[in-house]
Each structure stands twice: as C-alpha cells, then as structure tokens.
Structure 1
Amino acid sequence: MNEGLNLLVQPQWRIIDQSAAGVLFSALQSFGLDDTLCASVGSGNAPATARTWVHHNTVVLGIQDTNLPFLQEGIDFLKDQGYQAIVRNSGGLAVVLDEGVLNISLIFPESEKGIDINRGYDAMWLLIQQMFSDFNKTIEAKEIRGSYCPGSYDLSIGDKKFAGISQRRLRRGVAVQIYLCVNGGGSARAEMIRHFYDISRRNLETKFSYPEITPAVMASLSELLSVEITVSDVMLRLLQQLQKNSDFLFNGQLNPYELELYPGYYQRIVERNEKVAGG
C-alpha cells in the first residue's frame, strides 16, 4: 500500500472535471480522451492528471462481451431500458453508467522502473479509502462473486461492491480508472445486467465464462454509508485528497499537444464500435 501512496504523491495534479457534462458527451469520447492523456502524460507533455466524468444511461461492454452468442438481442433489451451500449478499448465486462455513477481516471507517467500493475490498483484503492476515512468503514479490495465485471480489486464495504477498478496502459502512460456507484440502487443496476447476460447468452455453453450475477451483492455508497451522497460531494472529497498529495493542484483542459492527438484516438474507438455494430 505504501507503493500506492508513493504514486498518489505527485509534484502537480491537473484536474479535468467533466462530471457535469452529462448528456453532452458520450462514453466513446471518454475512452478516446483517456488514451490521449496516457500518451501525453507518458511522453512528458503533461503532468499527472485526474479526469472525472459522468455519462447518462450507458452500459459499457468489455471486449469479451462482444463474443456473446445473442449480443444484439441483449443490446436491444438495454435500449428498451433506455440505455445505449458501447464497447471500451480494454478488458473487463459490462458495467452500468448513469447520473449516479462517478468515474475517476488517474493518469500517471511510467518511470524508467515502470509501474507494477498492482501498484496502480493500490493507488486508487488508497485514494478512495482516504476520501471516505471519516465514515470509519473498512473498504476492502477483493473479488465480489456475483457482481458484474468482477475483479480482484472490486471495492466493497461489508462484502457489498460499490466500485470496480481497471487499468489502461499506452505509450508509457498508465490510466487507472474506477467507477463509483455514488447513489441510486446498486442492486437495480446489477439486475439489469443480469437480464442482459441471460438474454445475450441464453443457456448456451460459451468459451469465455460470464458472471452469474447476484444483485444483492452490489450497492451504492449512499446505501452502504446510510447517508445521501451526491457526485458533487465526492468531487469535493477527491479534490481535497489530491490537494494533500500534491504541491500544486490546478484545473485544466487539454493542451495543444493533446488536442492534436485526440481525434486519432477517438476515431480508433469509434471504428471498434462500428465493427461490433456491423457484426
């Protein structure tokens, strides 16, 4: 965990806050942006960056989900629920994004020594522990069986998952990404994904093992902490912690180098999604 702390402490932290952009910007743009930031921070053209983002009614599928035998029927079900589906450019499985889910991406430069994959996960876990330390609740990092997109760094309180962490590595930049279910019904989100898999897989044997979802093992932070928490509340906690871990915290946007890189990375994820749509 000390290694995670070392990673959180940066000379500068740039904040790119897109948590209020909502319906004005798509999850495809978000994944293109994180790749752009990886390349920029990794090449030394920008300092360590924290980007926050919220997307309305989107289910983000992992690459493995595109192999589901009846995927289109599952996507049609999500549309009927008022959700669009997109495919991200990294591993993992389906996750739900809506106005009650805050995503945080921490983008670090890889030093000559490199950043061990667990060190990146530990940094995010430690940050979330710091952000909610006043509640005196134990936040564990372990796989929660029955959750959607299960992984060894699922974050949970009392064995109920409220967040999942992933990583993206590109051109000596590392993006550690987390989705935090801040408010709303964690089990209701899980129920929708359970239906999605039931419809997309039916009872067929598949080469890849998809999760058997138990909605009761997922919850939001508001449910787990017994107090209504908003995305704005979490943003304030994030900024306070990054301030403690930096000599200089500043609000920024894409610099000229990143503005030049972004269209190419965005186009790549658009093309990936077109291939999926084309079957």
Structure 2
Amino acid sequence: MTSFLEAHDWRFWDQSVSARSRSALESFAADDTLCELVGSGRSLPAVRTWVHDDTVVLGIQDHRLPRIEEGLHVLQTAGYEPIVRNSGGLAVVLDSGVLNISLVLSERESAIDIPAGYELMADLVRELFPEADIEAYEILGSYCPGSYDLSIGGRKFAGISQRRIRKGIAVQVYLCIEGNGSQRAELIRQFYGAGLGGQPTKFAYPVIRPEVMASLSELLGRTVTVQETVLNLHALLGSPRPTTLAADEMELYGFYLKRVFERNEKMLDQNA
C-alpha cells in the first residue's frame, strides 16, 4: 500500500471537524462529486476524511422494515438523526468518535475490480495501525456485516463500502476510533428489534450481538483519537496541501446535493 500511495499525487479534503454539525447527506453528495471529478480526470485521486455527530445511516433494506416508524422512533429518541444513504449496505452509526475515510480513484485508464477496491482500503487501515493484527472477514452479529469487516481478535471496528459513478470509485470506510463500540451496536440492536416488531421478512436482517463490536481505543488498549488518525493519514499521503471544492466544482456539488436530499426526503416521507 505504501508504494501505491507514493505512486500518486493526492487531493486531501479534511472534513473531520468542519462537517460534524452538518448532515451526513452532504458527505454522500461530496463523494459523488469527487467520483465524477476524479473519474473524468478533472481532479487528482482524492482522500476525504469526515465526521458527523449522532447520525444513523440506513440502507435501502432498513427502510423496508415492516415497522420502520417504530425503528426510527428508537433512533430519534436516543438523539440520533436517521438518513437513508444512496448506496448499498445496512445501518451504521456515526458520531464524533467515528472517522470516515473516502478513497476516490479513477477507472478512466484501467478498471479496478470490487475486491481490489476493498483490499486497497483494508491495506490503508493496516498502514494507519501497524501495531494491530487487523483481519478482514465477516463478523457475524455486527451491524452492516460484510466480507470486508475489519476486526482485531474477532471484534469489529470498521466496515468498508464502495460507490461507483462515471468512471470514479469512492471506497469508504467507517472507523470506530473512540468511545464504546458495543454501545453503538446496542442502539442498532434496539432499532432492528423495534423495526421488525416480531414480523417475518423475506430479507434476513442481522441479529446484533453488541459484544462483537468495539472501538480501536478499546481494542488497542490505549487512547486513540480521530484527529491523531487524520494527521497520520495526511502524513501517509505525503502531506498534500489540504483543499476544499473549487468555485467551478460547486455547481456539480450542488447537483449531487439536491439529488441526495430529495431522495432521502422521499424515502423517509413514505414512512410519515
């Protein structure tokens, strides 16, 4: 992975502080924007870091829970804003101790298959925490389970997803850095309990076991912070000059932002 990072110049956009009080929908719009910019060759490959306060990002299948209104009420009562993302997967928790990293690459010159995208992100996380024996396989009982769950000693701290638009690929990872991973999982366990309401479903929703999830601070036995991790990532990339969107890129961002907000509103309004 080090050679891959060194072989590219990088665009680095840090929203680990500036995005916290804003809607996580803005981050999905930002990644869609970067996908098109990078895929078209109008931008260098990009890395974006982002943190949002107390949000639960739902997937399409979550929205189809038989008693989704009751599930949403559980989240809102706990102080979390539910949103529906524009890509696959299931419910995940975002808060001030969860760092998200988006690695945005171009397929304009050569294809990057799905497993390769996952491996790149898994290797990047291993570079960030070289002292840890990080494994990638599905952790049963975790929320948003997948074959590239990242774990230490059988306890999950991260999950990886991908989004592809116009020859651009955004590989996204959420890293539970600070706080209590089991408490986050308990919130999702309660969400599914209320949302299912004992009703049978064709889709097999995960049976959450909070004890299989933890934060990196818990797993490494030391205090790890979001900001420390962002600084280490920036150094791994060769300390590129931080950027935001340029003025001529904001129109494209506005297009994706409008689309993602309208889609989220439509999905949630179906439950009103």
Q: TM-score range by the shorter chain?
A: over 0.9
Structure 2 unmatched ranges of 5 or more? none
Q: Hey, what does 1:265 align to over in structure 2?
A: 256
Q: Aligned equivalents of 2:62 and 2:37: distance in 1?
A: 29
Q: Hey, what does 1:166 align to over in structure 2?
A: 161
- Kindly provide the amino acid, as one letter, of the partner of residue 128 in structure 2: M
1:251-276 CA distances to partner (integer Å, 9 max, x unpaired)? 11112342120111011111111111
Q: Hey, what does 1:72 align to over in structure 2?
A: 69
| Cα distance, 1:106 vs structure 2 | 0.6
- Kindly provide the amino acid, as one letter, of the partner of residue 117 in structure 2: G
Of 35, 39, 55, which aligns to 1:38?
Answer: 35
Q: Hey, what does 1:253 align to over in structure 2?
A: 244
| Cα distance, 1:236 vs structure 2 | 1.5
1:175-197 CA distances to partner (integer Å, 9 max, x unpaired)? 00000000100000000100000
Superposition TM-score, scaled by structure 2 size: 0.96
Q: Aligned equivalents of 1:89 and 1:95: distance in 2?
A: 14
Of 223, 226, 243, which aligns to 2:218?
Answer: 223
Contact 1:10–1:48 under 8 Å retained in 2: no
| Cα distance, 1:230 vs structure 2 | 0.8
1:114-173 CA distances to partner (integer Å, 9 max, x unpaired)? 11111111111111111111x2x2100100000000000000000000000000000000
Q: Which runs of 4+ in 1 moved over 6 A?
A: none
Aligned-partner SS, 1:96: strand
Contact 1:149–1:164 under 8 Å retained in 2: yes
Q: Hey, what does 2:81 align to over in structure 1?
A: 84
Give the length in aligned residue pairs. 270
Q: Give the % identical residues.
A: 55
Structure 1 unmatched ranges of 5 or more? none
- Kindly provide the amino acid, as one letter, of the partner of residue 96 in structure 2: E
- Kindly provide the amino acid, as one letter, of the partner of residue 166 in structure 1: S
Q: Hey, what does 1:96 align to over in structure 2?
A: 93
Q: Hey, what does 2:115 align to over in structure 1?
A: 118
Aligned-partner SS, 1:258: helix
Q: Aligned equivalents of 2:141 and 2:251: distance in 1?
A: 42
Q: Hey, what does 1:107 align to over in structure 2?
A: 104
Superposition TM-score, scaled by structure 1 size: 0.93
- Kindly provide the amino acid, as one letter, of the partner of residue 57 in structure 1: D
